[in-house]
Amino acid sequence: MSTFQIGRQDAFLVVDVQNDFCPGGALAVPDGDAVVPVINALMPRFDHIVLTQDWHPSAHHSFATSHAEGEPFGTVQAPYGEQVLWPDHCVQGTKGAAFHPDLDTVPAELILRKGFRRGIDSYSAFYENDRTTPTGLAGYLRERGFTRLFLAGLATDFCVGWSALDGRREGFQVVVLEDACRAIDLEGSLQKARAAMRAAGVALAATGDLAA
């Protein structure tokens, strides 16, 4: 396994560490709050930190409650393809949408909110789920001269994984720190996500692989 030396062209992208994705939340990722101390310990090692935040309006298209016969974790066909239906989560302005209270948000240079368009979901920090509508993050990172991204957060097989793949699509080197992530693992989704990331050239690593 490679050792990664953190430099000035690296950014730490922390994905969706929010109350609704942690134990007790509306869409809790198993052991999701365990990432918080790991991420906090990593932050002083990076000069540049970006946080993402799921930020849905009420009655969002991805919510099971927005569909007459919708069931959580079922699917519907959206104009952009198959959409998983989720429990209502990360609704704008609610406690569930807030960052985990123990997450250190002070060092963040940017907080990017996503999923705020009612008719389309947004797993990736770079694109809505139609795969064409950009969030603007790639331009921000390029304009600031970053070339490599280290990712952590929730969940490995959805928002972290999609962000990693799109980071590669946008030409960045991408490293996912797996011990600073947790997965939903919906019907084998973690294994599929890890295979897709490897195939795209994403490095799957651990915090111990970072040079002291």
Tell me if residue 147 falls in helix, strand or coil: coil
Residue 71 amino acid letter: E
Whether 22 is catalytic: no
**Given 20, 54, 114, 157, the catalytic residue:** 114
**Given 16, 20, 104, 121, the catalytic residue:** 16
Whether 95 is catalytic: no
Strands (E), 68-210: 75-78, 81-84, 110-114, 148-154, 173-182, 203-205
Whether 16 is catalytic: yes
Q: 81 near 129, Cβ under 8 Å?
A: yes
Residue with tokens 């704008």: 92
Tell me if residue 54 falls in helix, strand or coil: strand
**Given 22, 90, 157, 159, the catalytic residue:** 159
Q: Which residues are marked as active site?
A: 16, 114, 159
